[in-house]
Structure 1
Amino acid sequence: MLIDELTFFFSYNVIYFFTAFLVVTSILSVDFNRDSIRQKKIGSVLIFLPILSLILLIGLRDLSVGTDTYSYYDILWLRDIDLEFGNDFLFALLAKILRYFNLGYGYFLFLIAFLFMFTTYIALNKISKFYYSNILYLFFTYLSFFFFLSMSINIIRQGISLAFLLLAYSYFISKNNKSKVIIFIAFSLVFHSTSVIALILFFISNNKIKYIKSYHYYILFFLCIILSYMNFGLLNISPILIDIIGSDDRRTSYLSGESSIYIVGFKSQFVLFNSLFLLVASFLKTKIKNELWLSNYNVLIRYYILASCTFFMAFQIPYSDRWGLLSWYIIPLFFIPLFSCRYVKSSIKIHWVFLLILIFIGFRFYG
């Protein structure tokens, strides 16, 4: 029996608050500084409770849950599939394989849910180990933000693409397998080619330019806010972008600036949201004592600023929130200093966990 929309969102809330209970109980039950190893081991086991629950919930949803759910049913199951190496090649290939074995669309949804959650788990597990952190806390942080659920049911191609990009990042900072970094980047691009934008921004962020200082990025951030407010953005350079991606590409329709269902224009709520977490990141980096960690953290901040600037410049065009996701999906990584007792100046504070719960409640029930 498939899960209807009302049951789905009720169950999702239950899973979230159960995970919050596990996190709070874990923090209060042991001394963070003295028993961090024990705490990490407990977290590495408890993480499977929400992970497996979410795979079942998301994989067994019916067609009414999520905007992409029925769309892909129409595209991949009600029509003939022509395999072309392009923007959604792997999606089409997976669907064609399942249809060849006479497996229904439900199997496809379950496979995609497993792929998204398993890839995210592997990425967060490696990142947590790199920072001597607790994977349960880091996963809970992702779960607290509205975009995590959207990546699962509303923008599933981009969601899986960014999950593979996060996996590539986890191997990149570990510096132990360059070939896997390349492989996972390739997977990301084949699932959703817009990830190339994130790659370009990360390349710029990871390579220091002699005459560009950290404060220049902050100046750029506020400059882009002003330009966006003055209605200058990607629409002004759309002819150049169309020349790059091709005039017959369906994505060029997003560069028209016209939409019957999506309101375009300056969005102060998103500017405030991105600005708030830039302030949070700037504050939390002061907690880091390890130079390697601080270097990686500064790269994340520079990337976040550049991705936010791109997002602000996209306010003119429909579905700009999909550009926003390029900045949003790394916000949980900013909280890493709170979840590690090694090489940081203070341990986790329980009020940060309650702040994450309030963020979830705010977006889930009032957003």
Structure 2
Amino acid sequence: MLNKEEIFFNRLYLILYLILSFVTFIIIIETYYKNKNTKKIQLLLLNFFCIIYIFLFGLRDVNVGVDTKYSILYFTGKVSVNSLSDVKDLGIYFISIITKKISSNVSFFLCIMASIFIIPLNIFIKKININNTLVLFFFFVSFFFFRNMGMNTIRQGVAVSFFLLGIFYYFKNKKIITSILFILAFLNHASIIIAILILIVSRYIYNIRFSYYVYIITTIISITNINIVNFLSKVPVINILVQDRLESYYTENAMEVYRVGFRPDFWLFNTLFAIIGYYVNKKVKDIYYTQIYVTYLCLSSFFFLMFSGAFSDRFGVLSWILIPLLILPLTNKDLNKKINYLNIFMIFILCFSLFLVFNLK
């Protein structure tokens, strides 16, 4: 049962999304049918909507989002820290300490967290797709993980934004800044280490069929509902995450409140974009796109293995954040001519429909 603060927030969020959708649709018509250059207006609109979303997430009531009350614990001082070893996510701890020195207002802290979530994403979008920035932002906002990271799992949202920006510099072979961004991502949410490691390993997967085999095998394993925590606890680096978080996802209480076991809904969702990525990858023939696609397949495979525990969607996010990048090439006018059955308008309708499905329950 939603409280009145959450109902009010959801209405505002829906209204804002509908406005963003309308503006994006107009931009698509101007760009793809009237062949107008909308680069500058898209940049202005991107910045405008990013600011609006920062305030929407930042000025929300503390009762909006189940995890919000946990995110402000360090800021409000309700949790005493005797040693840094007691802190799970150092990132939000230091942000809380620094922010509190400026203001003790909770809304100020939430605005800072929202800014750290949105701004790196804004920079990433501008760097990776300079011509259709608003359209790419629309892709991100359309998926349910964006709302959840902005108002609930904000620590993971911050980690994801740093990770995405890190991907750009990783492909540019900027090792120092890539390392800094990946470390910042890890400090804010340890689970991002899975995405980082798989991204790096994917560079050395030369045969894409290997990823398909892994996808199929993990699907079969997930159907059998095998608990893999014991195995993961023996894998270096990953075992830190297991001891820190995963074990709590397999407690009796967690298993009672969350649907566990094979999730055909999640599997079909990920497979849909795996199929789209397959066709796009055959057309674009770009080594960076292929690496993103392989990373997506491997992260999806890891996600399937997590079906046996509670809160598996928190690992699903690691693959979902790459979906906008999988459909990004469809904003290319030349590619739209090659794939006339999977063009920008169909993707727009798909994204809009998925938003309505997951937000109008």
Q: TM above 0.5, one fold?
A: yes
Letter of the structure 2 residue corresponding to residue 29 of structure 1 = E
Q: CA deviation at 1:99?
A: 2.6
What is the one-letter code of the residue matched to 2:248?
Answer: S
Q: Which amino acid in the other structure matches residue 360 of structure 2? A: F
Q: Does residue 1:207 correspond to 2:204, yes or no?
A: yes
Residues 256, 68 of structure 1: CA spacing in aligned structure 2 closer, same or farther, 3 A cutoff? closer
Alignment equivalent of 2:347, drawn from 338, 346, 352: 352
C-alpha deviation, 1:31, in angstroms: 4.4
Q: Is 1:221 the equivalent of 2:215?
A: yes
Per the normalisation by structure 1, the TM-score is 0.88
Whether the 8 Å contact between 1:287 and 1:337 is mirrored in structure 2 is no
Structure 1 residue 64: Cα displacement: 1.3
Identity of aligned residues (%): 28
Please give the per-residue CA displacement for 1:308-332, whole angstroms capped at 9, x wherever unaligned: 1111111111211111111111011
Q: CA deviation at 1:43?
A: 0.9
Secondary structure of the residue aligned to 1:240 is coil
Task: Decide which of 232, 239, 249 is 1:244's aligned counterpart.
Answer: 239
Q: Are residues 250 and 198 of structure 1, via their aligned partners in 2, closer, same or farther at CA, if it must alter by over 3 Å?
A: closer
Pairs within 5 Å for 1:22-101:
22-31=23-32, 34-35=35-36, 38-77=37-76, 78-82=78-82, 84=84, 87-101=88-102
Aligned to 1:11: 12
Partner residue, 1:112: 113
Q: Match of 2:132, as an amino acid? A: N
Counterpart position of 2:273: 277
CA contact (8 A) 2:142 2:351 kept: yes
Bigger drift between 40-49 and 253-262 goes to 253-262
CA distance in 2, matches of 1:20, 1:115: 24
CA distance in 2 between counterparts of 1:262 and 1:203 reads 32
* Worse-matched range after superposition: 311-320 or 69-78: 69-78
Structure 2 counterpart of 1:305, one-letter code: L
Structure 1 unaligned segments of length 5 or more: list them. Answer: none
Aligned-CA RMSD value: 2.5
Aligned equivalents of 1:97, 1:44: Cα separation in 2: 31
> RCO greater where, 1 or 2, for CA within 8 Å and sep 6 or more?
1
8 A Cα contact 1:164 1:184, kept in partner: yes
Asked if residue 327 in structure 1 is aligned to residue 319 in structure 2, the reply is yes
For these two proteins, the number of residue pairs brought into alignment is 351
Q: Is the 8 A contact 1:161 1:195 kept in 2?
A: yes
Larger deviation, residues 257-266 vs 267-276: 257-266
Deviation at 1:28, TM superposition (A): 1.5
- Once the two structures are superposed, residues 266-294 of structure 1 have per-residue CA deviations (whole angstroms, 9 ceiling, x without a partner) of 11111111111101111222332xx5xx1
* Secondary structure of 1:61 counterpart: coil
Paired residue type of 1:333: L
Does the Cα contact within 8 Å between 2:222 and 2:305 map onto a contact in 1?
A: yes
SS at match of 1:150: helix
Alignment pair present for 1:286 and 2:282:
yes
Distance 1:247 1:345 in 2: 47
For residues 129-181 of structure 1, what are the alpha-carbon distances to aligned partners after superposition, in whole Å with 9 as ceiling and x for unaligned? 3xxx4010000001110011111111111111011000001222244x33211
**What is the CA distance between 1:29 and its match in structure 2?**
2.5
What TM-score does the superposition give when structure 2 sets the normalisation length? 0.89
What's the offset of the Cα at 1:79? 3.0
**2:84 match: secondary structure:** coil
Runs (5+) with no aligned partner, structure 2: none
2:270 corresponds to which letter in structure 1? Answer: N
